[in-house]
Amino acid sequence: MEEELRLSDGSVSAPSTCWLNPHTGFFGTIKNSPSDFVVTEISLCGCMVSDVHSESCRGAEETDQEPCVPFRKRLKKAEEIWDNVGSVESSSGCLSLGGSEGLEDSCSEATVKLAPGSALDSFLDVAVADSLERFARLVEAWITQEEGDGEGTVFSLGVFPDKSHRADIHRAVRQKYPFLKTLTIGAEILVKPDGNYSGLSRLLSRREAGDFLRFLDSRDKNSTFTFSPDGSKDHRKAVHHFVSKRFGKMVEAKSFPERGGDGGHQRAAITVRFRERFAFGKKRSADDCPEAPATYTAFTLRKENTETLDAIGILAAELGVVPSDFSYAGIKDKKAVSFQTVVVKNVTPRRLDVKKARLQSKGLKVYNIRLAPQHLRLGQLWGNHFNIVVRGVRKHQGDDPEASLSDRVLEAIHNVKEKGFVNFYGLQRFGLGQNVQADQIGLALLKEHLVQAVHLFFTPEEGNNPVNKAKRHFLLTGDVKATLALMPDYKTRERLMLRALNRYGTDQEGCAQAWLSIPHSMRLLYIHSYCSKVWNQAVSYRVKTYGLRPVEGDLVIAESAEASSSQNDRVHVVTAEDQKANLYSIDQIVLPMPGNSTQYPSNQLDQWYQETLARDGLKTCKFRLPALHLNIPGCYRRLLAHPQHLAWQWLGDGDVAPVSRDCHPVDECGAVSDSLSLTFSLRPSCYATECLREVMKSSV
């Protein structure tokens, strides 16, 4: 009777439901300690990253200065983003020049006098200007009387062939009439009501709403806008939500306490500034940054019993950058010792070298530090090398008592060497949580149930450690601020999301901002987890339905296609003639990951995919999530994978030295050793636990 492959904590490590080879296998446990599972990344050139012997800070002498980065947020903590702004004086809504330095005196001489009128008169004929004035008064009356804003009503200013002339008119109209917006069709300038004004005027005075829209139109990177101080937290939250929803890509806002209050109810004012990326755009001034090339520093990261994303969070906090400044080729196992290349942007080698000791005290080792030409991309590696110890090795219950354990091991290794294994996604793809797994969060995101996705993200596991305490407090009370105080500093993702929830609220829009607060790759991870679960189920269905030979309607990779061609161009649908002629092998079959750019097999699998997605509530899903800035094109994954350089050894007593594999242990009574060492290499996105499962024949 087959037994399960188990982790040292007793949990079952398996989503797979079918086997490729007929051997009997054996039983054992893995990951009894992190050192029992060592993962070493293999670079594109075929070198294991831990094989680089130079420990010097190469390239550190090449640059002692920090890179010129006026266009990036260089913040040690997200809370410090507005520290240089401080609190505000009691004032009405106004625009301040010169960034934070002019804020305290925001309504003094630094204030810009807005709403110019004479400039527009110089650009338009008197008759056109008069007609525009009447149109503007009509729109204003609609807004004042709350009879709508005249949406759909358009007024033409005429045709203006000169582009610079049109630009002047656009600016002048919007400055004089902030409740109007302009657009160009061909060379004709059209004017229509601005829905943003009517929305703002329900929250603010019409004057303040107009001044804020003029501020936005100015696009002055050095200016800020401060709304009138307000004693209502709910009202400030409503303003925050409106600004975030309508203008979040352009500006960012934060509330500051009013100075010199009367000691009663605390009042605060919302200050808005342009996001650096928006204010500067893609073009950079030579005056702002003479050189402006980004600095990329590569290094080898050794981590132990730590998630890759948590390790990145620790690195970011120590270096005073954000997690999205780091790039890596793939996420490594948590319950392991792993070595991988990481590249960080706008941090010099010398600066990283200084932090080595502090990082080591937090369980991370960085070495082989050097300059790199650019960032890394996910999948930019040859693969991974694994050195794994399986302990407690014995035969399956019910196995032939006459059979030798070593013969069982030898047979299993030989079969997997020759035929490979079913290329299932491993347990790591779905997370190690017992209550909620990553694929459940991904499904909620795909269904755009963003509030539910946040609740799933903050669902605690069993136990009473600080992280679980904080998550439990959030779900029980909904108190974001208190949860943030409870959440440990090293939980980067959780703290980023909590800060966003604290600022934008916990409704659908606030939760969208929370998901946007974490790096793009992290958001994508949850979506891919769900798609991987569907892929695993599809493979099991495919093997059980059609066996291990290509059939009509299967998808195969056309080996003759150009490597540079698109994935769909490389995929071929097996025809009846192909099947009859045995043109393709099982090694060439691929199955699609759900997405908006993949095709499905044209056999029973097509219906299976459609029914599965419909059952999960994704029948009409387009696999595009604009609210989360996510596009999921999908991909194709081979049904089978093959380990390379697969070798094994019995370990000696005390695991001090390996014993030759020719030295067979004694079975059942008085075995010389019950620990087995396996080493092999796999291509990217192939899982060692799935290879082990095929070797050991452990069932789910």
Closest to 215 measured CA to CA, from 203, 231, 200, 230: 200
Question: Phi/psi class of residue 219: alpha, beta or left (left: φ > 0; alpha: ψ in -120 to 50)?
Answer: left
d(CA 178, CA 149): 13
Closest to 338 measured CA to CA, from 357, 361, 310, 317: 310
In three-state secondary structure terms, 116 is: coil
Residues 6+ apart with CB under 8 A from 162: none
Residues 6+ apart with CB under 8 A from 679: 385, 386, 387, 388, 645, 646, 647, 648
Q: Are 634 and 531 in contact (CB under 8 A)?
A: yes
Give strand ranges (E) for 235-313.
251-257, 268-274, 296-304
Secondary structure tally for the chain: helices H, strands E? 22, 26
644-675 as b/e: b if 16+ CB within 10 A: eebebbbbeeeeeebbebeebbebeeeeebeb
The string of DSSP letters for 261-279 reads: --SSS--EEEEEEE-HHHH
d(CA 443, CA 528): 10
Catalytic residue among 211, 333, 353, 439: 333
Strands of 94-96's sheet, edge to edge?
A: 94-96, 224-226, 268-274, 251-257
Closest to 309 measured CA to CA, from 63, 36, 52, 494: 494
Burial zone of 7 (CB within 10 Å; 0-12 exposed, 13-18 middle, 19+ buried)? middle
Tell me how far CA of residue 500 lies from CA of 323, 511, 514, 614, in angstroms.
Answer: 16, 8, 5, 32
- From the centroid of its chain, how far is CA 430? 15
Closest to 192 measured CA to CA, from 177, 207, 204: 177
- State yes or no: is 333 an active-site residue: yes
Beta bridge partners of 268: 230, 257
Q: Are 212 and 227 in contact (CB under 8 A)?
A: yes
Q: Are 666 and 675 in contact (CB under 8 A)?
A: no
542: its two tokens: 């495919």
Active site residues: 333
